[in-house]
Amino acid sequence: MDSVFTFLALPGAAITEASIGRSLRLINFPADVLQSLKQYGIESGKIPAGTYPKAANANEEVVTAVAGSVILVNKNVADDVTYRIAKTIHENLDQFHKIHGSLAPYQLKDAITAWG
């Protein structure tokens, strides 16, 4: 494979593993590409220098695309069930943040960012 783009919490195990035994370089996303991705809720972010120590450019900060974690339910799930899921998350935010690195920045104020 010559290239891949994926959403992972940092450091992503797949990227760490891919950097072992082969030459791997992280590429900056061009500003115009990042701008066009905003229409899909994808923002600009950075991979800090040193995140992937075996990468060829490990000492460089890399500009990339980022997206938050999303919890989806089927439209047929009862409203009371989805309410209980949301309530449980919000009443246990400390534990929720520890489940996965991508959930650590989640805040109640960001709970509803899209509706459809």
Q: What tokens does 61 get?
A: 């900060």
The whole-angstrom separation of Cα 53 and Cα 16 is: 8
Sorted by sequence, the CB contacts under 8 Å of residue 111 that are 6+ apart come out as 86, 90
Looking at residue 1, its pLDDT comes to 65
The whole-angstrom separation of Cα 14 and Cα 34 is: 23
> Could you tell me the pTM of the whole model?
0.68
CB 62 within 8 A of CB 85: no
Cβ atoms within 10 Å of 67's Cβ, excluding its own: 13
Give 62's pLDDT tier (boundaries 50, 70, 90). Answer: very high
